[in-house]
Structure 1
Amino acid sequence: MEEINVNDELAEKIKDDPFPRHLGIKTIKLSPGYAKVSLQVQDYMTNILGITHGGIVFTLADVALGIASNARGQASVAMSVTINFIKSSKPGTVLLATAEEIHCGRRTANYRIAIEDDQGKLIALAQGLVFQESK
């Protein structure tokens, strides 16, 4: 019986995820409990002030959380995500979201998600709690 690499299988599913694909979110790296994704901010992703809409930043954090938490091969869904917006960004900026596992229990796991711009400046900081289905 051929062993399936969970991350290869997940990478294929990520490519087919319509919403992140529509926004242009790209997966840079994934491993169990870790994910890094990127997005180039487009003009249509701004709010009335001309800065990146908070929903776009939150979505990038949520996508990173989803990838990191599912990279263990155990189906996981977000239970709670909080975000603090620290700095604004504008169209043309590349945003990078890095989700890292803080704690993994039997049924829940906690993650820290940092969103930075392409200059390394912190844009937002999020924390996520996920529920993990039993294996």
Structure 2
Amino acid sequence: MTEELKHIKEYHSTHNAFAKAMNIKILDIDKGYAKTIMELKSQHKNSMGITHGGAIFAIVDTTLGAAATAYGTFAVTAAANISYIKAGTKGPLTAEARELSKTRKLGTYEVKVYDGDQSLIAIAQATMYRKDKPYPPVEEEK
């Protein structure tokens, strides 16, 4: 992993308060690719005792963001579609995002989410919008 990618991974890890609250960590990152993990806690379960769809989408969106910003520019989710394939009951969850296409402003990604048994529980496709702004942001000198 290059120094630039290590810096991006570290920035994600320390500045994404939502991912921290959801217990999501980046395992691997490259331009157009990311792999994350989320240890399941009671806060991730719905009233039926299975992983809440919002928690699954949270790992999807976090993984997308890591894969898209690995190019060193801000990227935000413009559209996303998710299919829940089976109930997630056993953790940890892992997600992998892979870039399908990339233009100057848009990127299309596929994300697969697996449970602790490595069973596919969800698949998503998303479009990321790339901004002309460096990521991580450049610290202004004081």
TM-score, normalised by the number of residues in structure 1: 0.91
Distance 1:55 1:132 in 2: 24
- In the TM superposition, 1:116-131 aligns within 5 A as 116-131=114-129
Distance 1:8 1:56 in 2: 26
Distance 1:82 1:109 in 2: 14
Distance 1:58 1:23 in 2: 11
After superposition, the C-alpha distances for 1:78-106 in whole angstroms (9 at most, x for unaligned) are 1001100001122x511001000000011
Distance 2:19 2:63 in 1: 10
Give 4+ residue runs of structure 1 displaced > 2 Å after superposition.
none
Question: Contact 1:96/1:116 (CA < 8 Å) preserved in 2?
Answer: yes
Match for residue 72 of structure 2? 73
Distance 1:68 1:83 in 2: 17
- In the TM superposition, 1:58-69 aligns within 5 A as 58-69=57-68
% of aligned pairs identical?
Answer: 30
Provide structure 1 residue ranges, at least 5 long, that are not aligned to the other structure. Answer: none
Task: Give the 3-state SS of the residue equivalent to 1:44 in structure 2.
Answer: helix
Give the total of aligned pairs.
Answer: 131
> Residue type matched to 2:26 in 1?
T
Task: Give the 3-state SS of the residue equivalent to 2:37 in structure 1.
Answer: strand
Task: Give the 3-state SS of the residue equivalent to 1:55 in structure 2.
Answer: helix
Report the RMSD for the aligned CA atoms in angstroms: 1.4
> Residue type matched to 2:118 in 1?
G
After superposition, the C-alpha distances for 1:20-56 in whole angstroms (9 at most, x for unaligned) are 1122111110000000000111112111111000000
**Displacement after TM superposition at 1:134 (Å):** 3.4
Provide structure 2 residue ranges, at least 5 long, that are not aligned to the other structure. Answer: 134-142
Match of 1:108 among 103, 106, 110: 106
TM-score, normalised by the number of residues in structure 2: 0.87
